[in-house]
Every structure is written in structure tokens, then in C-alpha cells.
């Protein structure tokens, strides 16, 4: 079985036999897979009238458990955006009826963002469609290999997720 990366590796080895291109064997595949997944996810989200960022915010609220509300600060930390960006996103989600703001009883100056019934229905439906699609991608791989791949990818991701510089 060959993929596009095999051709890239062969070409680099022919042109630059003096460098070790083995990192490309893994990371180019991860990069290409990420692009394929991004396109597929955008298609799934579009079917549910969601942008990827809307899915991210709604999913964070849905995963938070009842009453499905978080502070904007907690949402921005979870989605890795600035406070101005989060304010804009919450405004747009509220205008669409997917979330609502309410005063934070623990902080008179603060607000909480709560998932509405419509928002919960939209995120649940999008998640179910996404999982169906992603299951088809993983179907050829036996469960033990999926677990092994998840573990190996975690080894690469953990240091990046915990890196303070955010590079």
C-alpha cells in the first residue's frame, strides 16, 4: 500500500540524500490527515449550519454538563482565542439563539454563557454526524491498532499542548 507521502519521501531522498527525511514519514502523514479531516469536518458542520468555531464553543458548553454554562474566560481558554474574539463569538451565537448570557451570581461584574435548547440540539446532531463520519474513516483499523495509534499520537501531542510558549 502506497500513499502520496511515499512519493514525497522518495523524491526528497533522491534530491537530498545527505539529509534524514524520516520525520516526514510520520509528520507529513499527520499533516495531510489533518487537512483531510478539516475539510470533512467543515462539510459535516455545514450540514448542521455551523462554522467550526461555533462547533468548538457549543461543544465546550455541552461537555461542561448541566446547566451547560461557562464563563467567557473559561470558554476562551478552552478554545484558545482572545477575549475580544470570544466576545464576538458569543454575540453571534446569542444572536442565532444557540446560547444566552446571564449574570454570574458569584461575580456581579461577570456573565455566564449558557447553551440553549436549540444550541444543544444543534451540537448533538452535529456531533452524531461527525462521529458517524469519523467511524467510517477508522473502520478498516482494528480496535487494538486504534488504541495504539491514539497512544502514539498522544506522545507527540502532550508536549505541544503543555508548552508554555504556545508555539
Q: Is the dihedral of CA 5, 10, 15, 16 positive or negative?
A: positive
- φ, ψ (nearest 5 deg) of residue 157: -80, -40
Average pLDDT over residues 57-70: 97
- φ, ψ (nearest 5 deg) of residue 110: -95, 165
Secondary structure string (H, E, C) spanning 20-40: CCHHHHHHHHHHHHHHHHHHH
- List, for residues 78-93, the tens digit of each pLDDT value: 888 999 999 999 999 9
Cis amide linkage into residue 67, ω under 30° from 0: yes
| Secondary structure (DSSP) of 1-21 | ---HHHHHHHHHHHH-TTS--
The larger pLDDT score, comparing residue 79 to residue 63, is at: 63
Show me where the domains of the chain are located.
Answer: 1-47, 51-162
CA end-to-end distance (rounded Å), the chain: 34
User: What pLDDT is stored for residue 167 in this prediction?
Assistant: 45
Cell matching residue 119:
444550541
User: What pLDDT is stored for residue 1 in this prediction?
Assistant: 87
Q: Does CATH number 3.20.20.10 belong to domain 51-162?
A: no
Q: What is the pTM of this model?
A: 0.82
- List, for residues 122-167, the tens digit of each pLDDT value: 999 999 999 999 999 999 999 999 999 999 999 999 998 887 654 4
Amino acid at each position: 500500500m502506497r500513499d502520496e507521502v511515499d512519493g514525497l519521501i522518495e523524491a526528497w531522498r533522491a534530491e537530498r540524500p545527505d539529509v534524514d527525511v524520516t520525520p516526514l514519514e510520520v509528520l507529513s502523514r499527520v499533516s495531510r490527515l489533518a487537512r483531510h479531516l478539516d475539510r470533512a469536518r467543515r462539510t459535516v458542520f455545514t450540514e448542521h449550519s455551523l462554522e467550526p468555531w461555533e462547533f468548538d464553543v457549543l461543544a465546550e458548553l455541552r461537555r461542561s454538563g448541566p446547566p451547560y454554562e461557562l464563563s467567557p474566560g473559561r470558554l476562551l481558554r478552552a478554545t484558545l482565542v482572545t477575549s475580544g474574539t470570544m466576545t464576538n463569538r458569543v454575540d453571534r451565537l446569542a444572536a442565532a439563539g444557540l446560547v444566552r448570557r446571564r449574570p454570574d451570581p458569584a461575580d456581579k461584574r461577570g456573565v455566564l454563557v449558557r447553551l440553549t435548547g436549540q444550541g444543544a440540539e444543534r451540537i448533538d446532531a452535529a456531533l452524531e454526524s461527525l462521529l458517524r463520519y469519523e467511524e467510517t474513516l477508522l473502520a478498516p483499523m482494528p480496535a487494538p491498532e486504534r488504541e495504539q495509534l491514539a497512544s502514539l499520537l498522544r506522545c507527540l501531542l502532550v508536549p505541544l499542548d503543555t508548552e508554555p510558549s504556545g508555539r
